[in-house]
Amino acid sequence: MSDKVSSLIDITERDWSADDFWENFRQIERITLELSQRYHYSLGKQSRFFIELANRRFFATACAGCGQVYAPPRPLCPACLQPSEWRELTGEGSLETWSTLHFSPGTNADVAALQRPYVLAYVLLDGADTLFPHLLRAEGLCLRRGLRVRVAYNDGPVSHPIHLMCFVPA
Amino acid sequence: MPSAPVIAAVGCTKIASEHRDCNIRDLLADALLDLLADAGLDGLDAVEHGLASYESDHFNMQMTLGAILHDTIGMTPKPGVRIEGGGATGALALRTAWAHIQSGLCDSILVYGVEKNGRGLSSRTANQLFALSADVDWETAIGGTYTGFYAAMMRAHMAQYGTREEHFAHVAARNRRNAAFNPIAQKPMNISIEDVLRSRPVAEPYKLLDCSLLSDGAACILLASEAWAREHVPAFESRPPVFFTGTGCGTDTMRLGDRYPHITNFRAKQTAAQAAYAMAGIGDPLREIDVAELYDSYSGVEIQAVEDLGWVQRGEGGTAVAGGTFDLDGALPVNTSGGLLGRGAPVGATGILQAIEVAQQLWGLVDERRQVADAVRGLTDTHAGIASISVVNIFERRD
Ligand SMILES: [Zn+2]
């Protein structure tokens, strides 16, 4: 944390009323502060999903109690509060909804490197009961609900293991 | 249960893209001074409890800000608590204050909400911080943004029900027009539906003018039992009492995809509304509610809200909105303040600002160009994220 720049804001130009309540406090200084953190971040019981992406395999979780298949995985089925089982999916599915994003938050190096606009897609993977959110690389293609897509893998290096995959048209 | 608490007094700052001469403590001080003037009080000696409402520790680079705010306005050594619920923070704070009064824990509680989201950080950094309020492992890491999640929901709504961009452009234009009649509003604009449609795309189908604002601002409400307000607040007798008659809260999964196949609307809002209606004794909300502030973080969200609040059938929100049902001269005027789109949205203060607009409408004290004639019941609708938490509060004037 450091103060690098200091500036005085000129607010004397303001149209002050005769009985300004804050007349003794018209000088305002603004400084620049910086704060950055590095997290040693555990992906916890979701970890196998990310580990298997490097092996070009896509895993969801299935609940033995209610049969719900969650992608992204849920170690604990929220409906049954029972531990799930890992289940491999083919990585193919269909596009349910999407948005084309013209601004990037630059969340990590992979997101910062994205060509804009990029497509945030929600995909119903074959064999899953939930929608999986990820980037859909389909430059020039007219998107429509029901479009068949598949997971495409890469070997990295990536800033976050979720970027070892994205969706592409099947 | 004891009878509902009353809104004893209200106060707020102007909402702005930046209050350069105020830090977050100064903003709260100004809102509090406004409340004291409204109440006819010269101090807070009689007030028993404080409740701080703000969303972000990151924007202010300050943790335990609630304690600092409590100290700033001289509430020590009285009890205080901080409430956080994303975008729903202010409404959740009022709901919590309601419970403090109803439980008998105290007879008076000052709810103070404040946020400096405006220009203290670059909009890129601000968007990064807001993205941390999505699921960091699955949604934030891929480059998702809230504008994108809302936009994907709206696209599903359009595909399912035939809702059109013109329908939500109506909201974007109308709420900014309403803001012109509100002296505290951040960005009143006289714009047409075509202006909205032509603004640059942000996350399709949402365009720049479909998106709400980043704001600096503060707002306070003094909530009390009716007897306490009569005894301690000089201004209380001068206007018809407004009671806080209903509050409902609902929740939903964090990620939109986990709600499949229900991705067009907000289940949490349906839950919250039904609970609030039951508590307030409302059977036919479209007829019994006279004025409402809806959470228009994006223009299309208001269309989803009028459906989820049970005012129109699912899928008919777009045509009802575009047909003028919720305009100032419509059957149920909404966002008379200008909403998040026109008045602005200092997150921790937003739900409180909504309740202030409703209270002042029920008192008959707002600019006549936006005053709803003889309004008796008003509603606020606020949510966090894509309605992972939703709060509906209802207020009623009893002459
Ligand atoms: Zn289960």
Q: What is the CATH number of the domain that holds B228?
A: 3.40.47.10
Q: Is residue A141 part of a domain?
A: yes
The HSE-up count of residue B159 (CA atoms within 13 Å, CB side) is 18
B11 in reach of chain A (CB within 8 A): no
Residue B370 resides in a domain: no
CB contact under 8 A, B127 and A103: yes
Mean pLDDT within B219-233: 98
A83 domain-assigned: no
Q: CB B159 to CB A97 under 8 A?
A: yes
In this structure, of A9-13, B108-112, B293-297, the range with the lowest mean pLDDT score is A9-13
Mean pLDDT of B325-335: 98
Per the CB < 8 Å rule, is B139 touching A133? yes
- C-alpha distances (whole Å) from A117 to each of B32, B140, B282 are 44, 17, 46
Q: What domain count does chain B have? A: 1
Alpha carbon distance B352, B262 (integer Å): 30
Q: What is the pLDDT of residue A8?
A: 63
Residues A28 and A96 in one domain: no
At residue B172, φ and ψ (nearest 5 deg) are: -60, -40
The residue type of B101 is I
d(CA B325, CA B331): 5
Residue A95 lies in a domain: yes
Tell me: the pLDDT tens digits for A84-127? Answer: 999 999 999 999 999 999 998 888 999 999 999 999 999 999 99
CB pairs under 8 A between A and B: 125
Q: What is the mean pLDDT of residues A135-139?
A: 94
Own/partner contacts of A146-150, CB < 8 Å, gap of 24 or more, are A146/A94, A146/A95, A147/A94, A147/A95, A148/A92, A148/A93, A148/A94, A148/A95, A149/A92, A149/A93, A149/A94, A149/A95, A149/A121, A149/A123, A150/A90, A150/A91, A150/A92, A150/A93
- Judged by DSSP in three states, A98 sits in strand
Residue B51 lies in domain: 6-120+214-238
Q: What is the mean pLDDT of residues B123-142?
A: 89
All residues of chain B having their beta carbon less than 8 Å from the beta carbon of residue A22 are 21
- Confidence band, pLDDT 50/70/90 cuts, at residue B1: low
CA A130 to ligand 1 center in whole angstroms: 13
Contacting residues of A for B255, CB less than 8 Å apart: 72, 130, 133
Determine which helix (DSSP H) or strand (DSSP E) holds B321, and give its type and residue range: helix B317-322
Query: Between the CA of residue B194 and those of A102, B198, B204, B306, what are the distances in Å?
Result: 20, 6, 16, 23
Give me the domain span that covers residue A27: 3-33
Query: Confidence class of residue A4 from pLDDT cuts 50, 70 and 90?
Result: very low
Percent of chain A topping pLDDT 90: 78
Judge contact between B177 and B190, C-beta under 8 A.
yes
Q: Is residue A64 part of a domain?
A: no
The verdict on residue B155 lying in a domain is no
Residue A116 lies in a domain: yes
Q: How far is A53 from chain B (nearest CA, A)?
A: 14
Query: Are A103 and A21 found together in one domain?
Result: no
Chain B contact set for A99 (CB, 8 A) = 147-149, 151-152, 155, 203-206
Q: What is the pLDDT of residues B319-329, one digit of tens each?
A: 999 999 999 99
Bigger pLDDT: B359 vs A33? B359
Q: Is the domain of A162 the same as that of A115?
A: yes
Alpha carbon distance B359, B221 (integer Å): 10
* Chain A contact present for B199, CB below 8 A: no
Does B64 fall in a domain? Answer: yes
Test B143 with A118 for CB contact under 8 angstroms: yes
> In the predicted model, is pLDDT for residue B128 greater than 60?
yes
Interchain contact, A43 vs B142, CB within 8 Å: no
The predicted pLDDT at position B122 comes to: 85
Interface predicted TM-score (ipTM) of this complex, two decimals: 0.95
Nearest-Cα distance to chain B for A164, in Å, is: 11
* Whether pLDDT at B288 is above 70: yes
Count of the separate structural domains present in chain A: 2
In a domain, B231, yes or no: yes
Q: Do the domain assignments include residue A67?
A: no
> Residue A10: is its pLDDT beyond 60?
no
Instruction: Please report the pLDDT score of residue A6 as a whole number.
Output: 61
Q: Is B129 on the interface with A (CB under 8 A)?
A: no
| Domain co-membership, A111 together with A150 | yes
For residue B358, pLDDT over 80 is answered with yes
Of all helices (H) and strands (E), which one includes residue B130? Answer: helix B123-131
The reported pLDDT for the residue numbered A13 is 53
Which of residues 12 through 31 in chain B touch A, CB cutoff 8 A?
20-21
- Whether residue A125 is contained in a domain is answered as yes
> What's the average model confidence in pLDDT over B361-376?
98
pLDDT band at A7 (very low <50, low <70, confident <90, very high): low
- Among A23-32, B86-95, B268-277, B342-351, the range scoring the smallest mean pLDDT is A23-32
Chain B: residue whose CA lies nearest to A34: B61
Same domain assignment for residues A29 and A99: no
Between A139 and B379, the higher pLDDT residue: B379
B24-50 pLDDT, tens per residue? 999 999 999 999 999 999 999 999 999
Q: Which of A21, A99, A129 sits opposite B152 (nearest CB)?
A: A99
Q: Please report whether residue B99 resides in a domain.
A: yes
Query: What's the average model confidence in pLDDT over A44-66?
Result: 98
pLDDT of residue B125: 85
Do A54 and A10 lie in one domain? The reply is: no
Q: How confident is the model at residue B192 (pLDDT cuts 50, 70, 90)?
A: very high
* pLDDT of B268 higher than 70: yes
